[in-house]
Amino acid sequence: MKIKSVLIKNFRGIEKLDSPIELLDLNVFIGDNATCKTTILEAINFCLSPSFSASRLCINDFYQGSDREIEIIVEFAENFIAKLPDGYTTQDVECNKVALIAKKRDRSAPQKAFSDLVSMSHYVIPVAQRGEEGWSQPRKSSPNDFKFTERQLSFPVPDVELPRCFYFPKTRSRQLSKGYNSSLSNIIDDLNWRFDKSQRTKTEDQHFKHDRKNLHEKVISETGGDTIKKTIDESNKILKELGIDEINLSLFKTLTPYDGAELLFPFDGFELPIGQSGSGVEMAVSLVFLETLAKISKEKILIVIDEPELHLHPTLQDKIINHLKSISDEIQIVVSTHSPFLFKNVYHDQAVNLLLTKKESGKFIIEDARSSEFGLLKWSPSWGEICYFAYDLPTPEFHDDLYSSLQDQNGTETIASAEAWLIANGQNKEIKWTDDKGNQVEETIMTYIRNRIHHNDNQNRPAYTVEQLRDSIQRMIDLLRPAKT
């Protein structure tokens, strides 16, 4: 089961989308900082969290601090069945969406000293049209319709198996450590349960507690355990006076021996914890670990990654994105990125949903990257092109790309012929400077900057400004675009 679209209103930097964000198997968001890439990822994560608590939202999550409700709706490509209780039986209700509606609390909750700042509705949405008082559908064995509201559809909904969302924020360690909704916690809890179940079938003399005691004593003896023994004994004397039971140091828990488990790299009899191997490797290991777990357990999952390229060198970035592409037919993936390398890697793969995020005049905009400004060059997208259109960053490399493209398009092999073409197409020789022989030189801004880039040793040619570089780039874009329309 995969997500078809996501609708977001009044959440953080997003007031309202013109239309829902359509998703495919692999989805890549690229854009400048503060263009709501992380907001989209966290909206999906919040909406699909099975045990969502309103306390995880705060008043700062509301768009510009307004009182308007946060609305996040995730629609799935396939319908699913919610089994709602109806007396001694259940009713199958066909659904296709999950809604998360949050608003600022106006009054404290009844009989509670402390209330969450935010109240919330979190429920699945039926395919059938909603009426004024909720939904209704015919009963098979009764003339009366079965009527229900958001309350019956609220999380946790019995027997509804939605994909579990595993979110990799910029801190990668959470999925490889014990904690809420982490993959390692799920495995440790399951292994502890399996171990405890096996112990129940054993006789007293076969219980692990005897082996644990032997291992404990061996480790203590190997470390000259007098200090810890004295500390425990002295502590127990005081505890006895207080009427409190004795304590002891446990290296292995009797009932939950996996509680201290961690993933590591073994070598030559030693171990290196994954967390000490570098955050890039940590992210890769946690991703592979989670993916393998999902395949073995046959669980439906969704992987959401904020900047998978963090701390990864280009070769590993290339391998990671290629791997994500290879598994996305089974596991839906949503990522945000700042990496031109990653963007360029997926640009020509039409199966990848490549989306550009922008903010114009205070409004959040999302558009298909392939149908926007990209594609001016025969070798698009170049790194300079990505930096300019995704991050509004003019670079000398992009200026070179554009100047070369104009030469290729118009057959102007020399700089002199390229300059003549520019003048014939409305550009003026507005840059004036004096060469080392005292001659006055006049050039268009495009040719001037091109020559300054390629002849940086010519100190008579003054450096151009960022504003001039941006102006020159935009003029060449305008000259190239008619050929693309």
Does the residue 227 lie in any domain?
yes
Does the residue 441 lie in any domain?
yes
Spans in the chain with pLDDT lower than 50:
54, 113-114, 485
Ranges of H-type helices in 298-370:
314-327, 340-347
What gap in Å lies between CA 362 and CA 33, rounded to an integer? 14
Instruction: Give the tokens for residue 134.
Output: 């909720």
Report CA Rg, the chain: 31
Beta bridge partners of 76: 3
**Residue 425's pLDDT is what?**
95
Peptide bond into 381 cis (omega under 30): yes
**Residue 113's pLDDT is what?**
46
Of 197, 231, 261, the position where a domain reaches its end is 261
Does the residue 323 lie in any domain?
no
CA distances from 478 to 177, 414, 484 (A): 52, 21, 10
Contact criterion met (CB below 8 Å) for 94 and 110: no
Contact criterion met (CB below 8 Å) for 98 and 162: yes
Contact criterion met (CB below 8 Å) for 177 and 184: yes
Of 215, 230, 261, the position where a domain reaches its end is 261
Our count of domains for the chain comes to 2
Does the residue 126 lie in any domain?
no
* Sign of torsion over alpha carbons 154, 162, 39, 279: positive
Does the residue 419 lie in any domain?
yes
Tally the residues of the chain.
Answer: 485
Of 214, 232, 261, the position where a domain reaches its end is 261
Does the residue 443 lie in any domain?
yes
Q: What are phi and psi of 285, to 5 degrees?
A: -65, -45
Indicate the pTM of the whole model: 0.79
Does the residue 176 lie in any domain?
no
Does the residue 412 lie in any domain?
yes
**Residue 54's pLDDT is what?**
46
Which residue segment(s) compose the domain that 216 sits in? 188-261
Pairing of strands 26-31, 332-337: parallel
Contact criterion met (CB below 8 Å) for 360 and 367: no
Q: Which helix (H) or strand (E) holds 281?
A: helix 279-297
